[in-house]
Amino acid sequence: MSTLPPGYVERDVERWVVEPPKNKHRTPFERDRARIVHSSALRRLGAKTQVLGLGSGDFVRTRLTHTLEVAQIGRELGKSLGCDPDLVDSACLAHDLGHPPFGHNGERALDEVARDIGGFEGNAQTLRLITRLEPKSVHPVTGASVGLNLTRASLDAAVKYPWRESQTPTRPDGSPTRKFGVYEDDMPIFEWLREGAPERGQSFEAQVMDLADDISYSVHDVEDSVVHQTVSLKVLRDPGQAQAIAAHARQWYGRGEEDALLAALERLQRQDTWMDEYNGTHRALAALKDMTSQIIGRLCQSVTAATRERYGDGPFTRHHAQLVVPQDTRDEILILKGIAVHFLMAPREKKPEYRRQREKLAALVPALAERGAEALEPHFAASYNEAADDAARLRVAVDQVASLTDKTAYDWHHKYCEAPRKSRPGRT
């Protein structure tokens, strides 16, 4: 039987290093998904911060639970539009693999410490991880690691920002971003996976993954706010609070119009399942879950309908169509993000521990780069010993720190930054 999924061609399932299929009853995309599921990088996401820290409570989401939720949303949305579900699932499972300890807070710290060598970006790190760092396959001639050796289509679907650092765009309001998808020394594999793709254009599956990510964290961060922070959604009925949330959304994301965002909030509040009050009972938890589920369905259905209205019934694959997201849907997602910013993200910026997290990572990277191979895990130690210069060695140290879980980052900082300082002469 053929293992080429409908709507895809041979070049879509090519791998950087050619390898024979092991099971003729599995498609190449099913193999890709299995490789990601069994990767150590995916397991580590279970001990990495999503938004709230891991010590915040048992209910809060980790990077892993967020990733699984994105995969569920993306798989169903992609399937409804004719994408191969395993391909979209693979992209969603991979999308956060490169994110470091402490969530976006850690990403900021590593970007600062690595600015002279091309910076750090979680999505660029994801590409580096699945094509180089995650141990699975090696080149038969050079012996160099080729990561998971995924198909071209799966790699392309995992690239959220298909451009290098020097091409980083600005937000709609003109403010700068640090969003890019590839480091300079990973350009060869990037150019290979992007063969035939329009410049800076996401594949259709990547667009589905990107939207599933947006929908997941915009809705679920609100859910976490209600359960963990005991945020009462009733306060959103106050015009002043609603305006403050809209302002926070525009400030953090650099887009949106106040009137449109307030109208989006009103539309959400008019839904039958919207709940203003939450008291922690089983009934309230069930009602909250129903509300989030209905919002997710509402957002996905609007995109599916709009895309089919423009392009027909599909199927839609690779670079043959664009996902159509109505402006009302974009506004609803953005105001939901604004709720999380207002009640979760903006307040945490003022917390001392949030600043200390960045300081720990910023100190740990140069400490490891100075100590060298003896302080690194074996596969990173080998890369360190093979590095051609100080910049390459610093990048290895960044790769090592990015791979750590939250707890391990604390432990390594104590071992390599605090303990040596305490043991110096004159210290007690």
Predicted local confidence at residue 230, as pLDDT? 66
**b/e string for 305-338 if b means 16 or more Cβ within 10 A?**
ebbbeeeeebbbbbbebebbbeeebbbbbbbbbb
User: What residues does each domain of the chain span?
Assistant: 10-193, 205-348, 352-422
Phi, psi of 263 (to 5 degrees): -65, -35
d(CA 97, CA 56): 22
Residue 304 has pLDDT above 90, yes or no: yes
Residue 174 confidence (pLDDT) above 90: no
Residue 394 has a pLDDT of 97
Give the orientation angle of helix 390-403 with respect to helix 378-386, to 10 degrees: 170
221: pLDDT confidence band, cut at 50, 70 and 90? confident
Q: What local confidence, expressed as pLDDT, does residue 199 receive?
A: 92
Q: What is the pLDDT of residue 224?
A: 83
| pLDDT at site 209 | 96
Mean pLDDT along residues 229-250: 88
Mean pLDDT of the chain: 89
Q: Give residue 50's pLDDT band: very low, low, confident or very high (50, 70, 90).
A: low
Write the pLDDT tens digit of every residue in 331-348: 999 999 999 888 877 777
* pLDDT value, residue 245: 92
Amino acid 342: pLDDT: 86
Mean pLDDT of 33-50: 90
Mean pLDDT, range 230-243, rounded to an integer? 87
For the structural domain made of 10-193, what CATH number should be given?
A: 1.10.3210.10
Task: Report pLDDT for 1.
Answer: 39
* pLDDT at residue 252, as a whole number: 86
Tens digits of per-residue pLDDT, 54-106? 455 555 678 899 999 999 999 999 999 999 999 999 999 999 999 999 988 89
**pLDDT tier at 52 (50, 70, 90 boundaries)?**
low
